[in-house]
Structure 1
C-alpha cells in the first residue's frame, strides 16, 4: 500500500488546478513514469470535464468544514491502486468542499456519473418547540420571539437561541419553579441560555426539562438525547443533570452528554470535572476524559474531544465508526428513515464532513467509500448494493 498516497494525491489535486510548481510537476511526472497506476489516475481526472466544472463553480465556497482528513480503516485487503486513487479523490473533496466523485478501480466515464436526486433533503436548522409549565407551546426557529413566563418574566429568543437569563434579582428567591420543556426535533438544533446564564447546545432529537428560575440550593435539569453544557460556577448551587437513571453533578465546567439510549450514556469533559453516578456506582471525570455508563456500570477512559464536539461545531466526525453508526447520525440530522436491502460491510470509517451539505452530497461521498448505493425516496433512505 502506498505510504505516501496522501502526498501523491495532493500533487494530483494541484495538477488539476494548474497550481504545480516546476519542481512539483517534475516530481509528479517522474512518479507517473515509474508507476502506471498513477498515470491512470491522472488521466481519469484530466479527462473528466465535471471535475473542472465543479472546481470553477465552487471556488468561492468555504472549505474549512469540508470533508477533511478522511481515512478508511478496513479489515479486508484493498489494492494499493484503489487506496491511492481513494486518497487523491478525497483530497479533491477537501479542495472543493462538495461532492466531487471519488473513482473506483474500474474506470467510469463522465456520462455515467450520477446526478443528485430531485427530492433532496436539506441539512438541519435552528428548530425547537418550547412547552411552558402551563402547557402553552411556542415554535422556535431563527426569528425573534418574546415569551411571557408564568412567573411574569419575559424570555427572548432569536437566531436559534432562547435566553432565560435576566438581571431580575428576584429569581434567586424561588425555592422551586415549574419545569419547562424544550424539544429539538430531528433535523433541528438549538441553544438555550439558562436562568443562571449557563449555556446549553442541543443536538437533533433531544429534549431538556428546566425551570424558569433555579432554586437557592441547586440547579437541576433533565436531558434526553445529546447536549453540550457550559456551566457557570456557583459553589452554593451545584448543577445537576438527570439522564435516565444517571446523575451528573458539576460546579462549573464544560462537557458533552450523549444519551440517545438511556442505558448507554457518554459524558465527555472538556474543562473542569464532573461527578457521574449510575446505579450504585460513581466516578469523577476530569478534563480530557469520558465516562461511559452502560446498565449502571461506569468506565472512565481518554476522550476523543473532537469527535464529541463535532456536531456542535458544525460537522460530522467519524472515527472507527461502522456504516450503521454513520447512518444513525445522518438520519437524525436530515430527518430520514434508513432501511437496508443488503448486509452492511464490516468496514470501519473515519473522517469529517460539514453538516451544512445536502443529503445527496453526503450520499455521493458515502457511495464511493462504502461500495454501496443509496436510494432516496421521500423521507426514506434505502441502502442497496451498488450496480457499479
Structure 2
C-alpha cells in the first residue's frame, strides 16, 4: 500500500493534470499509477467532476507562493501500514493541496515578491455574506474645515480658498504648482479609514501613498524654507529632489529628513519603522540625536530608542503593490493588517498560534479567502459575524 509520501507525490501530479500543467513525463508517470489500481482511475474520474476541488484549485490561483506539504502532513491522519487507504481522505488531501500549494509554513520557506508585483486573480466562488477588500477611498479636509469624500473615480476639480486647483485623477489627488509665496499658509489633511487607501501628488511633485487608517497633514503650498508634512499610520513617499528645500516628515515624536528619495514609514503602533528604498534619509528623535540610513536599511524607533537594521524592502512596500506579504510574522500582527484592510473587529478566545508565518496573497482577495489561507497555515479557526471575527484554536 502507498506510503504518505507517495500519496502526496501523486496528489501533486493529479493537480498538475487537472490544471493542464503536467509535462509529458509527468503524464506518463501518472498514467502508470492509474493503471496500477482501478481505484486510482476511479479517484481521478471523481475528482474531475467535484465542484469543491475546482473551487479549491481556483482559490489556489489567488495565492502566489510555493507549496508546503508539511502543512498537509501535519493535518492529515497518517496511513497505518496494513490498513486500507481511505480514498475519501486522499481526495481531501488533494483538495487541500490545491489551497496549500499557495501557503508557506515555517521560517525557512518564503517566495520573494515578484518584480513587478504580480496582480493575482481572484476567481473562486463568493461565500455568502463575504467581506470585500478595501479600496481607493479617503476624506480630504480643506483649509476652511470643509470635507470632501474621495473615491476611485475621477470627479470634479476641487478649489481651495486661495484659488489652488486640486485635480481628482485616477492616480489620486494632484495639487497645482505656484511660484508665488502664499500670504497665509493653508493646510489640508488627507485621511483614510479602515478598508481604504489613497494617493496624492503634492505641489512640489512629491508622491505619497497612504495605507488604511492613516492620515497626512500638509500645506497646500510649501514655503521657501522647507517642506514639512505630518503622518499618522503608514505612508510611502517618493520625494521630489530639491537641494535648497529639505523635505521633513513628522511622525509621533520623531522627524525624517530627506532631500530626494523613496521610503516607507509605518507608525500604527508606538514603534515607528522607517524603511529606505533609495536615496538617503536622516532620523532625528526628540532629544535631537540623529541617524542616517542607507538604502536597504530600516530604523525602528520606540521611546526615543533607535535600532538600525537591514530591511526587507519588498515586504515593507508590499501593501503599496496590492499584496499582503508575511515573512516570519507574528499571528496577531498579521490579524491587525487584515483588520485594517477589511474593516474588522478581531476578538481572540484562548491561546494564539505560536508559529511565525510567511506567505503572500493579493489584497484584492475576499476575506474568506484570506482566512482560509490563515486557517491552513496556522491551525487557527475563524468565526465571522458581520464585521466581527472571533479567532480560536478550536472549532
| 1:311 aligned residue | 319
Q: Aligned partners of 2:344, 2:222: CA distance in 1, in Å?
A: 37
| 1:149 aligned residue | 160
Query: Pairwise mapping of residues 99-178 of structure 1 onto structure 2 (< 5 A)?
Result: 117-143=127-153, 144-159=155-170, 161-166=172-177, 168-170=178-180, 173-174=181-182, 177-178=185-186
**Deviation sequence 1:180-232 (CA, Å, 0-9, x none):** 11111110000011010100000000000000000001000000000000000
**Deviation sequence 1:53-111 (CA, Å, 0-9, x none):** 4389x5xx995xx312257799xx948999x97766433689x95587xxxxxxxxxxx
Query: Pairwise mapping of residues 217-232 of structure 1 onto structure 2 (< 5 A)?
Result: 217-232=225-240
Does the aligned pair in 2 maintain the 1:165–1:193 contact within 8 Å?
A: no
**Deviation sequence 1:3-36 (CA, Å, 0-9, x none):** 99999876443122244233113445789999xx
Does the aligned pair in 2 maintain the 1:141–1:158 contact within 8 Å?
A: no
| 1:23 aligned residue | 25
Does the aligned pair in 1 maintain the 2:200–2:207 contact within 8 Å?
A: yes
Q: Aligned partners of 2:52, 2:249: CA distance in 1, in Å?
A: 50
Query: Pairwise mapping of residues 33-44 of structure 1 onto structure 2 (< 5 A)?
Result: none
Q: Aligned partners of 1:323, 1:12: CA distance in 2, in Å?
A: 32
Q: Could you tell me the TM-score, scaled by structure 2's length?
A: 0.79
Structure 2: gaps spanning 5 or more residues: 79-92, 104-117
| 2:64 aligned residue | 68
Q: Aligned partners of 1:48, 1:372: CA distance in 2, in Å?
A: 30
Q: Aligned partners of 1:318, 1:44: CA distance in 2, in Å?
A: 37
Q: Does 1:278 align with 2:285?
A: yes
| 1:267 aligned residue | 274
Distance verdict in 2 for CA 1:215–1:92, change over 3 Å: closer
Distance verdict in 2 for CA 1:8–1:275, change over 3 Å: farther
**Deviation sequence 1:288-310 (CA, Å, 0-9, x none):** 11111121111111111111111
Distance verdict in 2 for CA 1:316–1:48, change over 3 Å: farther
Q: Aligned partners of 1:328, 1:135: CA distance in 2, in Å?
A: 31
Q: Aligned partners of 1:335, 1:169: CA distance in 2, in Å?
A: 41
| 1:13 aligned residue | 15
**Deviation sequence 1:134-180 (CA, Å, 0-9, x none):** 111111112313211121111111335011133x322xx23761321
Does the aligned pair in 2 maintain the 1:9–1:91 contact within 8 Å?
A: no
Does the aligned pair in 2 maintain the 1:183–1:206 contact within 8 Å?
A: yes
Structure 1: gaps spanning 5 or more residues: 101-114
Task: Provide the aligned C-alpha RMSD in A.
Answer: 3.7
